[in-house]
Amino acid sequence: MKATLADTLQVVGRFAPSPTGPLHLGSLVAAVGSYLMAKRSRGLWLLRMEDLDLPRVVPGIADDMLATLEALGLQWDGEVVYQSRRNEQYREAALELRRHGLAYPCGCTRSEIAQIASAPHHDAVVYPGLCRNGLPPGKTERALRVKVCDEAICFDDCVMGSYRQEMSASCGDFVIQRADGPYAYHLAVVVDDAASGVNQVVRGADLLSSTPRQIYLQRLLRYPTPGYCHLPLVTGPQQTKLSKRDSAVSLAAGRDLARDGGALLLSALRFLGQNPPPSLDGASPREVLLWGVSCFDPNSVPRDAGPFEG
């Protein structure tokens, strides 16, 4: 059978935590899933610190995350990328969108939008396009928004299956930069993935609904679109949202990873629908990951959120 382009491309995956608190069970699942998905294909696994929201960044947490990942045997390829050092790249992308009439200044406050917009969609207000044709008299620029199209954005997720979203009905024209300077997550992640050659994005299902905005930006900026794989979320008691504070797995939280690391990785594998053999009980992180690289089956990953048993 003749090889396709996709067959010849090296897989480049990534893990991109936000250093706003110690590594927790949800981020551990994302780290393990993304690592094994890349390494099972002999690909690269990159690491990026999504520290754009500097007021929320906790000093020392980025270093603790790096040490925790290393203690678990999750060694990344290349140098760590820090979003806080890449504002110039985001600025260039925003300027390109603006030059081509694909983005525009918005002077609306949140309260103004909420009063005029249609009913909220999944707790998010759809922007009604008040500044799409120019800033109204008396208004000053508060944000930069991207014009969305009326077409539905569709993609196939390797775990969640086919996904479709009409952005004009779900979010409307969305913000890529605030007037006080910070660039939005959607723009930054698209620019960074393209710059690093990432072609496989494995992350938590809480980001599934934001993926169409990122695919749309990739198309506007003429970037390739990676393959997406959204993993089920870890929940707390009674299927409630997991507390980061109560689920920390990092060295800073007092975890003895020399003793518990292998067991944590085995629990993450089982959460992801894998079936490691009993012979791995008590194994080191390195041994568990070696098994995972050889045996990880994406088709066994469940779609539904659930508790982390371990």
As given in the structure block, the two tokens for residue 176 are: 């890529």
As given in the structure block, the two tokens for residue 142 are: 């508060």
Helices in 197-284 by DSSP H: which ranges? 211-220, 257-271
- For residue 244, indicate whether it is catalytic: yes
Catalytic residue among 2, 39, 241, 244: 244
Contact predicate 43/225, CB 8 Å: no
What is the number of other CB atoms lying within 10 angstroms of the CB of residue 102? 16
Residue that has been written with the tokens 């995972």 in this structure: 292
**278 Rama sector, left if φ>0, alpha if ψ -120 to 50, beta otherwise:** alpha
Spatial separation of the C-alpha atoms in residues 119 and 123, rounded to whole Å: 9
Contact predicate 143/173, CB 8 Å: no
Report the largest interatomic distance among the alpha carbons of the chain, rounded to a whole angstrom.
71
Q: Which residues are catalytic?
A: 244
